[in-house]
């Protein structure tokens, strides 16, 4: 399948959000509390003229998606980017073309396409500052063989999810990195 076919296969943002179970409330919270800066309006006016669309590979259980998708939705609204969503686990054929570091099926992945369905660029799974935060958090875990590893890992994931939801500076890292990708 080409990217146009993947786009057509996808669901709308509303359909995706309505189908969510795990992080719907947190995604909506971020969406409702994040706003595009008025100083970026000229950028979005130029973006609107490019007639870009996007395919988003995501899953409801993903904390990175919980953070990145609502920021992207605000950006897509401002740039008039028609967007369709695909669940990663149901679309591995496409996902495997966008592996992180050539091996990980990390999400979300946002694939920007033109009106002919040709790829312009892609973004994901996270802004560099968040990758550093994640690496530091993972680095603080005990060795996997340690008896409390599972418990500590669960605590770390809860901490990361809360930080993603509550730290607006994280939101701005994502926003700025997405803009850099589209510029």
Indicate the pLDDT class of residue 78, thresholds 50, 70 and 90.
Answer: very high
Q: What is the pLDDT of residue 168?
A: 96
The pTM (predicted TM-score) of the whole model is 0.94
- DSSP codes of every residue in the chain: --HHHHHHHSBPHHHHHHH--SSHHHHHHHHHH----GGGHHHHHHHHHT--EEEEEE-TT-HHHHHHHHHHHHHHHHHT-EEEEEEGGG-HHHHTTS-BTTTB--S-EEEEE-TTS-EEEEE-S--HHHHHHHHHHHHTSPPTTSTTHHHHHHHHHHHHHHHHHH-HHHHHHHHHHHHHHH-
The 10s digit of each residue's pLDDT in 103-117 is 999 999 999 999 999
Q: How many C-alpha atoms does 114 have within 13 Å on its Cβ side?
A: 6
Q: What is the CA radius of gyration of the chain?
A: 17
Per-residue pLDDT at 72 exceeds 90: yes
CA-based nearest residue to 137, from 159, 168, 107 = 159
The 10s digit of each residue's pLDDT in 9-68 is 999 999 999 999 999 999 999 999 999 999 999 999 999 999 999 999 999 999 999 999
- For residue 25, give Cα distances in angstroms to 17, 76, 107, 167: 9, 20, 19, 16
- Show the domains of the chain with their CATH numbers: 3-127+168-182 (3.40.30.10)
The 10s digit of each residue's pLDDT in 15-25 is 999 999 999 99
């Amino acid at each position: 399948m080409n990217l146009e076919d993947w786009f057509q296969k996808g669901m709308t943002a509303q359909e995706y959000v309505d189908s969510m179970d795990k992080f719907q409330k947190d995604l909506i919270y971020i969406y409702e509390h994040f706003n595009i800066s008025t100083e970026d309006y000229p950028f979005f006016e130029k973006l609107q003229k490019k007639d870009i669309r996007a395919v988003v590979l995501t899953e409801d259980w993903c904390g990175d998606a919980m953070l990145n998708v609502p920021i992207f939705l605000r950006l897509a609204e401002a740039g008039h980017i028609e967007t369709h969503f695909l669940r990663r686990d149901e679309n591995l054929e496409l996902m495997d073309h966008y592996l992180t570091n050539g091996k990980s099926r990390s999400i979300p992945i946002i694939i920007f396409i033109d009106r002919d369905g040709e790829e312009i660029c892609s973004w994901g799974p996270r802004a560099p500052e968040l990758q550093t935060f994640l690496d530091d958090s993972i680095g603080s875990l005990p060795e996997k063989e340690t008896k409390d590893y599972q418990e500590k890992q669960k605590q770390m994931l809860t901490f990361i999810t809360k930080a993603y939801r509550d730290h607006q500076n994280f939101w701005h890292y994502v926003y700025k990195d997405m803009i850099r990708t589209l510029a």
